[in-house]
Amino acid sequence: MQYSGFPDVGELIVGEVDEIEDFGVFVELQEYEGKRGLVHVGEVAAGWIKNMRDHVTPGQTVVCKVLDVTESAEQIDLSIKEVNDHQRSDKIQEWKAEQKAEKWLELAFGEDLSDETYSEVANAFLRSFGTLYDGFEAAAIHGNEGLSDTDLSEDHVEAIVETARENVSVPYVSVTGYVDLESPGSSGVEDIRGALEAAEGNGEVPDEVDLEVTYVGAPEYRIQVQAPNYKTAETALEESVARATDAIGAAGGVAAFHRERQSDEE
């Protein structure tokens, strides 16, 4: 995404070589709308430079360090030589990730992606996650709960989560559900304990699945599942709820499953 305003001194930015002169290189800043900076000849590469085009070419993508900014003159002084290979690789990777995230926004909202919607989602993600990509990654891993700290509408969250789970590659995903367990008999406490043990799988949960059941507030319990992909996680959650329901039902109790937390306090 492109930012308004100016970069900060010391910031690493991605640019495209625009003009090459004897005294330096003009670079279009890819992350700042309408801005370009100058890499003085002494900041292009270490040592004496005989021919500038031996080091840069028009249209080349470069990573630069911001040396100085004079906003009144719209002057941005840059350095290429002060960026090492590791910094360059990390910055390019981050920039490409943001480009991916912008395409995911287009997929999520299609023709409904107005400037207003773009700004709303982008600002919410930047506040909560720092980048667009990290926001989509949180949606892919944690679903709706991953975006709970944002002020996005339910419709926007649903669209983002659906797109994220179809497009973002993550090491694991997380899904959460809640089950209410009640048993009116004299052995109600033991009945519920048995249902919780059943929900946890009695040691039969696949190794690739991490399943945890925690107490929220009577009669509510949280079931959280982490798995390599969304389908596996959802299946494990459904099976956990079914085991708990069968166990409490066999003891004369009842179970009720819901996606959202209902208790007011932990």
Q: Looking at the predicted structure, is the pLDDT value of residue 265 above 50?
A: no
Q: Which has more confidence, 241 or 46?
A: 241
Contact residues for 36 (Cβ-Cβ < 8 A; gap 6+): 15, 18, 26, 27, 28, 29, 76
Average pLDDT, the chain: 91
For residue 79, what pLDDT is reported? 97
- β-sheet with 173-182: strand ranges across: 210-217, 220-227, 173-182, 254-258
Tell me the CA distances in angstroms from 79 to 3, 13, 20, one per residue in order.
20, 10, 14
- Ordered domains of the chain (ranges, CATH): 12-83 (2.40.50.140), 87-167 (1.10.150), 173-258 (3.30.70.1130)
For residue 264, what pLDDT is reported? 56
Select from 132, 128, 105 the least CA-distant residue to 116.
105
**CB count, 10 Å around CB of 147?**
25
User: 100-104, 176-180, 260-264: lowest mean pLDDT where?
Assistant: 260-264
Structure tokens at 4: 């308004």
For residue 204, what pLDDT is reported? 76
Query: Cβ(221)–Cβ(197) under 8 Å?
Result: no
Q: pTM for the whole thing?
A: 0.65
Mean pLDDT, residues 244-266: 84
- What CA–CA distance (Å, rounded) separates 53 from 35? 23
- Residue 240: exposed, middle, or buried by beta-carbon count in 10 A (0-12, 13-18, 19+)? buried
Give φ, ψ of 263 to 5 degrees. Answer: -70, 145
Query: Cβ(185)–Cβ(245) under 8 Å?
Result: no
Above pLDDT 90, what percent of the chain?
73
